[in-house]
């Protein structure tokens, strides 16, 4: 009996020491990975091609399909997600039967260390991969200990039901050197099942508030309206709601509703329940007197607010390059709207304080306070003319004009410190 009592007492005394040692071994002073994701127009084009080639919406429900992805493509995607959602860096290595996911995540200031360097090793099975082990700094956890820790972490990011709905369609994952192949059974109702992963009940309540107000604003005799006819009252509402709610989430919801409306897209595409909400009347919205600029501005703002600035920048530039190859032509006007929208969307979600500042400014801002003058910028350039005049996106003339556009955008009240 005395031996048991002494053992329990010793364990209680040693537990804080062992926990402290484990924490010290798990946290590092320097990141193991440092290269952040840099999305380019070529990578955006590649992503669109992959999706078109593997678009599951063309399949019948219950059909079996496979999609193969290269390590480079997956590595970029994982790194981008780590950049945007954890301010960290991540990478993927694929081997025969195994996948290694490495990440370096910054930590709040503490006396132990500034970074958590981790490596998650997955091993191939007859169906879904299993956790082989998880390394946190110098601490290595076997799969049986790593699984509950990872499950807890995932539950804080995404509802378990949404992960299960996705896992139900995946039948097998094959790891090969530099390549991953997923075999899945498509279900046409999967997007609806996964909706909770994108929009929480609180998100839906916010969207409904802005949708209702937008519907009221659209009931006017004017068929064409300035963006500010909507942005001013909507940001006034956002400021009011932010007194008791998260201003960042309020701004995201507002920007999404306004972007869908400007592009005449129904909210029901992503939220079927909204079919019961007040429906706005379609009106043409303009910025600098043009309806195309407002679409560029708001789409880029939405991408920045929901995804991050690098993606919004790359998508905007990709669109202009595509236009120069036979579409409407390369337009610096459109690119200026892309960049201005990106900056607004970035600031709108950067921090609670900055989110409230954006609300205060845009609740009263006229067009010239949120969008620079663009009438003097070149547009409708063919690819050949764009290269001849500006040397492509690496040309000195292109860089100089982009610097001028950036100066105009930086001078806007919405971007001043």
| Per-residue pLDDT at 228 exceeds 80 | yes
Q: In Å, how far are 84, 315, 335 from 162, measured between CA atoms? A: 21, 28, 37
Contact 251, 295 (CB under 8 A): no
Chain segment 326-337, per-residue pLDDT in tens: 556 788 998 999
C-alpha distance from residue 217 to each of 225, 264, 294 (Å): 10, 15, 17
pLDDT band for position 7 (cuts 50, 70, 90): very low
195, with CB counted inside 10 A (0-12, 13-18, 19+), is middle
Pick the more confident residue, 107 or 280. Answer: 280
pLDDT at 290 over 50: yes
Q: Using 50, 70 and 90 to split pLDDT, how confident is the model at 16?
A: very low
Tens-place pLDDT, residues 37-72: 566 666 666 666 666 666 666 777 778 888 888 888
Please, which residues bridge with residue 102 across strands? 91, 119
Give the three-class secondary structure for 120: strand
Residue 19, pLDDT score: 40
**Residue 137 and residue 121: Cα distance in Å, rounded?**
14
What pLDDT, on the 0 to 100 scale, is given for residue 324? 45
CA distance 39 to 52: 19
pLDDT greater than 60 at residue 130: yes
* pLDDT greater than 60 at residue 1: no
Q: How far apart are the first and last CA of the chain?
A: 69
**Do 348 and 255 form a contact (C-beta atoms < 8 A)?**
yes
Does residue 288 have a pLDDT over 70?
Answer: yes
The whole-number average pLDDT for the span 97-118 is 81
- By the 8 A CB rule, do 117 and 45 touch? no
Cβ–Cβ < 8 Å for 188, 165: no
More confident residue, 123 or 221: 123
Nearest CA-CA partner of 102 in 116, 92, 94: 92
Kindly report the average pLDDT of the chain as a whole number. Answer: 80
């Amino acid at each position: 009996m005395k031996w048991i009592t002494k053992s329990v007492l010793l364990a209680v005394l040693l537990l804080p020491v062992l926990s402290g040692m484990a924490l010290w071994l798990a946290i590092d002073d320097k990141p193991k990975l440092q290269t952040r994701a840099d999305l380019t127009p070529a990578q955006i084009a590649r992503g669109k091609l992959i999706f078109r080639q593997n678009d599951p919406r063309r399949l019948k429900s219950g059909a079996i399909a496979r999609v193969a992805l290269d390590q480079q493509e997956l590595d970029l995607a994982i790194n981008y997600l780590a950049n945007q959602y954890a301010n960290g860096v991540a990478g993927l290595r694929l081997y025969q039967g195994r996948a290694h996911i490495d990440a370096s995540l910054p930590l709040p200031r503490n006396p132990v260390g500034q970074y958590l360097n981790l490596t998650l090793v997955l091993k191939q099975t007859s169906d879904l991969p299993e956790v082989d082990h998880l390394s946190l700094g110098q601490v290595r956890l076997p799969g049986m200990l790593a699984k509950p820790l990872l499950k807890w972490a995932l539950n804080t990011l995404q509802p378990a039901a949404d992960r299960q709905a996705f896992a139900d369609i995946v039948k097998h994952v094959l790891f090969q050197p530099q390549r991953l192949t997923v075999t899945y059974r498509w279900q046409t109702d999967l997007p609806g099942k996964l909706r909770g992963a994108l929009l929480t009940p609180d998100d839906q309540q916010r969207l409904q508030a802005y949708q209702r107000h937008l519907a009221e604003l659209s009931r006017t005799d004017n068929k064409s309206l300035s963006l500010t006819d909507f942005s001013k009252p909507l940001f006034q509402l956002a400021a009011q709601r932010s007194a008791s709610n998260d201003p960042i989430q309020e701004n995201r919801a507002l920007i999404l509703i306004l972007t869908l409306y400007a592009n005449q897209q129904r909210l029901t595409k992503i939220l079927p329940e909204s079919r019961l909400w007040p429906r706005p009347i379609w009106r043409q919205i303009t910025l600098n007197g043009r309806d195309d600029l407002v679409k560029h501005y708001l789409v880029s703002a939405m991408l920045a607010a929901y995804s991050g600035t690098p993606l919004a920048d790359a998508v905007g530039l990709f669109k202009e390059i595509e236009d120069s190859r036979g579409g409407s032509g390369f337009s610096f006007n459109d690119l200026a709207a892309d960049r201005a929208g990106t900056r607004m969307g970035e600031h709108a979600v950067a921090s609670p304080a900055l989110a409230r500042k954006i609300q205060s400014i845009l609740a009263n801002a006229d067009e010239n306070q949120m969008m620079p003058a663009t009438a003097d910028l070149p547009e409708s350039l063919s690819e050949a003319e764009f290269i001849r005049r500006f040397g492509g996106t690496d040309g000195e003339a292109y860089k100089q004009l982009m610097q001028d556009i950036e100066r105009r955008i930086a001078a806007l009240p919405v971007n001043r410190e």
